[in-house]
Amino acid sequence: MRGKLVLTATALAALALPCRAAERVSLTNGFALTCAHHETVEGRVRLYSSANASSYIEFPPADIASIETVPDPPPSAEPETAESTPAARPTTPAKLTPADLHEMLATAGQAHHLDVDLLASVVKAESGGNPRAKSRAGAKGLMQLMDGTASDLGVHDSYKPEDNVRGGSAYLDGLLTRYHDNLALALAAYNAGPAAVDKYRGIPPYRETRLYVARVIHEFNRRVIARQRLAQQEANSSSQASAGR
């Protein structure tokens, strides 16, 4: 497994807050984050995470390198069920059991050295676990593959869960290799395309893409932390059982 991914994810999650971004703020330390709006209050720059004034963080003006308006994102690729497009009704069941989905993700993860919780986080963000999901842009299935990408990956039916997960995992594996295991860039490329990441030399300044990256990383970290806690609880229970003998 790619052991450095969790550390990279944790660092980014602290910066890429899932807010309704309208501005991109570049800091003098090289980091960047998004916010709804900003204002200067008592000599400090206040960045608000929403339209109201209840949630914000502050920086001294010297820490702010630039503030720019985030351009409009590309057309939304939010998943919509295939039932809303009668011309393309798949026969795949709309629901998978958690066990079936986990088995698919675990198999794909082993094949491509990807953490099963990372794949589960991508599936949750892309389709909510619905194998018949279809976006307005035409992305299909659990990991929302476009037809061209699916064809390149040898996936003939994106509505077949096993094939979709296999193809999506291979694609994410290739992106991680391309961006030297930088999870944030790989996820940005998965959402907006490698051309956009290469054009901007980083995460594109699209609100949709930035929120997507933050959402997947947040979910991935949540799952990893829960897994570690469970393992610790099991270890503690085992130790107590051994001590009681």
State the DSSP code for 183: H
Cα–Cα distance list, 158 to 83, 113, 140, 173 (Å) = 15, 22, 6, 18
Exposure pattern of 77-94 as b/e (b: 16+ CB <10 Å)? bebeebeeeeeeebebee
Mark whether 126 is an active-site residue. yes
**Shortest CA distance to 32 belongs to which of 5, 66, 60?**
66
- Reading the block at residue 185, the tokens are 């860039």
Active-site residue, selected from the candidate residues 126, 162, 208, 234: 126
Residue 190: name the closest of 142, 245, 120, 143 by CA: 143
Q: What angle do CA 104, 145, 163 make, to 5 degrees?
A: 35
Contact 213, 184 (CB under 8 A): yes
The answer to whether 41 and 90 have CB atoms below 8 angstroms apart is no
User: Mind telling me the catalytic residues?
Assistant: 126
